[in-house]
Amino acid sequence: LESVELATAADGHSPALAAESNFGLEDGAATMVLGILVCADRLGLAHLMLLCEHWLSRVMSSDNVCALLEIADEFRLEQLRLICLHFLKRRSDCRRSPSFGCLAQHLRDEVLWAARGL
């Protein structure tokens, strides 16, 4: 994870990737996928970014959805962003979580706007 954090700092990406522990995976798969995502973004490998986006959407849970939304926003992963928004608008318990309160204001506003449109 440290190499991912160092790589992202050089790219100007925020420490959202440091939220790897929220994925609840002990095998390092999330760290590896996030590292690949950073490299794919750097190299402009859109197809590889799509594969990472797909994998991240499949490990989404109420514990990591806010971290995934931050990552989706940061890396312009529109499908993952929409999946996170849909998940959050359907799960009011996630909107009351501490991790939701830590989201950037524009992301919280977007989730709350989507939730009103239920």
* Burial class of residue 97 in the structure, from the number of CB atoms within 10 Å of its CB (0-12 exposed, 13-18 middle, 19+ buried): middle
**Two tokens, residue 19:** 């939220």
Would you say residue 4 has pLDDT above 60?
A: no
The pLDDT tens digits of the residues spanning 10-56 come to 455 554 554 444 454 445 888 899 999 999 999 999 999 999 999 99
* Burial class of residue 3 in the structure, from the number of CB atoms within 10 Å of its CB (0-12 exposed, 13-18 middle, 19+ buried): exposed
Mean of all residue pLDDT scores within the chain: 83
Residue 28 confidence (pLDDT): 82
d(CA 106, CA 110): 6
* Burial class of residue 7 in the structure, from the number of CB atoms within 10 Å of its CB (0-12 exposed, 13-18 middle, 19+ buried): middle
Residue 65 confidence (pLDDT): 94
Mean pLDDT of 81-102: 95
**Pick from 67, 70, 54: nearest CA to 22:** 67
The residue written with tokens 């931050």 in the block is: 70
**Which CA distances in Å does 111 have to 34, 44, 50?**
23, 28, 23
